[in-house]
């Protein structure tokens, strides 16, 4: 009877750890090692008899540098969430000024579609979960690519009453030199619209 109790105790300890992990919303493999670090030598010996799958490996942090880098897990951007003061104003600006397609999806949510990407819109104070830690309107700084001449874009911005902050200027894009024009949306997000045809030196 004593031997049976000695054999079952580590498993009971592990089960307690997993139950506690659910209560604290903490990964079981992390909490189990935290829970066992203060056991007596005899208890640790008993716990070490558990299968590795039960206890789980010790947690590794990406900060420690002991995690092998993945090979091209990410290939493209699908969507970006914008937190805005007014969805109505944002939709009007991006559709009328930049020609993005307004899309309505689940729960009457709004998105701005362009190319193979989209901006999902969250109204400040009414964000959907999960959300960014500090979703604040006006904190976005993003570069968008156009295949049209920037001179045409600048004329269109002027006709729409949008102030150009800077440009056209040379910048460095993800795959080479770009020419960029900077302006802001209704939330004061900084928008950089660029193309890969560089400025001609006069």
Tell me the catalytic residues: 192
Closest to 154 measured CA to CA, from 169, 141, 174: 169
- Long-range (24+ apart) CB contacts under 8 A made by 192-197 are 192/141, 192/142, 192/143, 192/144, 193/98, 193/143, 193/144, 193/145, 193/146, 193/150, 193/153, 194/143, 194/144, 194/145, 194/146, 194/150, 195/145, 195/146, 195/147, 195/148, 195/149, 195/150, 196/145, 197/149
Cβ atoms of 152 and 52 within 8 Å: the answer is no
Around 139, how many Cα atoms within 13 Å sit in the side-chain half-sphere? 11
Helix 2-23 and helix 28-36, axial crossing angle in degrees, nearest 10: 130
Residue count of the chain: 202
* Strand bridging mode 141-145 / 101-105: unpaired
């Amino acid at each position: 009877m004593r031997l049976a109790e000695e054999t079952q105790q580590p498993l009971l300890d592990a089960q307690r750890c997993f139950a506690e992990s659910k209560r604290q919303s903490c990964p079981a493999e992390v909490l189990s090692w935290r829970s066992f670090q203060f056991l007596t030598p005899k208890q640790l010996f008993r716990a070490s008899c558990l299968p590795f799958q039960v206890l789980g490996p010790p947690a590794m942090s990406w900060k420690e540098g002991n995690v092998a880098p993945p090979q091209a897990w990410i290939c493209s951007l699908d969507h970006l969430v914008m937190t805005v003061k007014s969805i109505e104003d944002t939709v009007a600006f991006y559709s009328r000024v930049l020609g993005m397609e307004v899309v309505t999806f689940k729960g009457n949510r709004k998105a701005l579609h362009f190319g193979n990407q989209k901006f999902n819109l969250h109204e400040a104070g009414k964000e959907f979960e999960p959300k960014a830690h500090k979703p604040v309107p006006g904190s976005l700084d993003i570069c968008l690519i156009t295949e049209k001449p920037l001179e045409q874009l600048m004329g269109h911005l002027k006709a729409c009453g949008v102030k150009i902050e800077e440009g056209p200027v040379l910048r460095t894009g993800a795959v080479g030199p770009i020419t960029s024009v900077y302006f802001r949306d209704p939330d004061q997000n900084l928008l950089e619209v660029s193309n890969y045809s560089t400025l001609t030196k006069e």
